[in-house]
């Protein structure tokens, strides 16, 4: 397509970016893991944690001011969440025992996780519900809302799939929740929390480096929403080699953070000026550009209060991050394919 034709299309047929809003629930039940709650559920709106409950406190707590107000204005929501928080631990602990028996498993440590909720597309107005389970850190079962059946993600899950497919009352419960209750929740939350959820905030951007030989990390924190991109470029061209992009992670105040590392081991000092970090927030015209300059790089030599010691830390400031590293225990990681094994089991609770 010629350049003028492309410009014509942009002017008379502008591209409308689709924005999706979501409500998600992350549930984790553990067996044989000491010194942590064996049941934790966290609710997220647009990827921001807004409430949680666990088997120790046994009560629902909102973590954002607008969510606290929602619980006051809509007590039926608090009642529903409280009921789920009290009933679910017993149900899912029994589910782990059932899985161990049906799969002929031994050993004390097992993790069952569930992620469910719905997404709303602001352009198409389409709402999609979803639910899936993970077991011991791997994808296990996914609910197909079109066929109202469970899809086994590994051979061991087939026997469970057949059993759950026959449970018609439970299938109807899932159908009702994903197609009616969850969308109603999301509509209410978007209305009550619109001043918070529909805002735009730019981040502060810093250059960080642990040691003189470490990669330089371009770290952005405090931005909202999470529809952002970040990259290094040289002489105006985006780099793909010697670059490592981190995940977008939530901060305690509902904003987000991300980082992108640049390996400078093969770059001479005189060439540093040719590099720059670019942060782009969806819907914002101007990018934030940070030139690679040794004079502005923060290192471990500065006081801890001035140095965010890595992207994970900022994501849990203000929340108690209960972390117990155990071999064979897994966590839910955000990625397209679902569950990912890790060496450290982390639960975010208040």
Q: Is 7 exposed, middle or buried (0-12, 13-18, 19+ CB in 10 A)?
A: exposed
Q: Does domain 16-196+319-349 have CATH number 1.10.8.60?
A: no
End-to-end Cα spacing for the chain: 55
Take residue 201 and report the two structure tokens written for it. 């905030």
**280, two tokens:** 């782009």
Q: What does the pLDDT profile of the chain (350 residues) look like in tens digits?
A: 444 343 333 333 333 345 789 999 999 999 888 888 999 999 999 988 999 999 998 889 999 899 999 999 999 999 999 988 888 888 888 888 888 888 888 777 899 999 999 998 877 888 899 999 999 999 999 999 999 999 999 999 999 999 999 999 999 999 999 999 999 999 999 999 999 988 999 999 999 999 988 999 999 999 999 999 999 999 999 999 999 999 999 898 889 999 999 999 999 989 999 999 999 999 899 999 999 999 999 986 544 444 444 433 333 333 333 333 222 233 344 444 454 443 333 232 22
Beta strand extents in the chain (DSSP E only):
20-31, 39-45, 48-54, 61-62, 110-121, 127-135, 138-144, 149-152, 204-209, 216-223, 228-234, 237-238, 243-245, 249-250, 256-262, 275-281, 288-291, 297-299, 320-325, 344-349
DSSP state of 298: E
Residues near 127 by beta carbon (within 8 Å), at least 6 away in sequence: 118, 119, 120, 121, 183, 186
Domain covering 201-309 assigned CATH 2.60.40.10 in the classification: yes
DSSP letter for 201, please. B
Q: Are 16-196+319-349 and 201-309 equal in CATH topology?
A: no
Sorted by where each begins, the domain ranges of the chain are 16-196+319-349, 201-309
């Amino acid at each position: 397509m010629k350049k003028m034709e492309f410009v014509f299309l942009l002017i008379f047929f502008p591209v409308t970016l689709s924005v999706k809003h979501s409500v998600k629930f992350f549930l984790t039940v553990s067996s044989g893991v000491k010194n942590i709650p064996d049941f934790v559920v966290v609710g997220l709106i647009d990827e921001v944690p807004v409430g949680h409950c666990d088997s120790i406190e046994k009560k629902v707590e909102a973590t954002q001011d607008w969510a606290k107000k929602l619980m006051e204005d809509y007590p039926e929501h608090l009642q529903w969440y409280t009921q789920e928080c009290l009933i679910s631990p017993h149900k899912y602990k029994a589910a782990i025992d059932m899985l161990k028996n049906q799969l002929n498993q031994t050993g004390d440590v097992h993790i069952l996780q569930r992620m469910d909720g719905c997404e709303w597309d602001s352009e198409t107005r389409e709402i999609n519900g979803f639910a899936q389970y993970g077991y011991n850190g791997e994808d296990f079962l996914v609910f197909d809302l079109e066929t109202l059946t469970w899809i086994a993600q590994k051979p061991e899950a087939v026997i469970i799939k057949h059993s759950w497919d026959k449970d018609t009352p439970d299938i109807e419960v899932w159908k009702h929740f994903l197609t009616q209750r969850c969308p109603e929740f999301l509509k209410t939350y978007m209305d009550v929390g619109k001043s918070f959820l529909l805002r735009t905030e730019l981040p502060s951007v810093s250059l960080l480096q642990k040691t003189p030989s470490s990669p330089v990390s371009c770290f952005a924190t405090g931005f909202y929403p999470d529809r952002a991109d970040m990259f290094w470029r040289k002489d105006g061209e985006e780099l793909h080699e010697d670059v490592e992009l981190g995940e977008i992670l939530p901060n305690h105040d509902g904003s987000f953070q991300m980082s992108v590392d640049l390996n400078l081991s093969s770059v001479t000092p005189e060439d540093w000026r040719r590099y720059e970090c670019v942060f782009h927030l969806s819907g914002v015209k101007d990018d934030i550009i940070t030139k690679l300059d040794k004079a502005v790089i923060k290192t471990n030599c500065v006081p801890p209060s001035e140095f965010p010691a890595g992207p994970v830390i900022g994501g849990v400031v203000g929340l108690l991050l209960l972390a117990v590293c155990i071999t064979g225990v897994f966590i839910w990681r955000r990625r397209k394919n679902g569950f990912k094994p890790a060496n450290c089991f982390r639960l975010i609770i208040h």
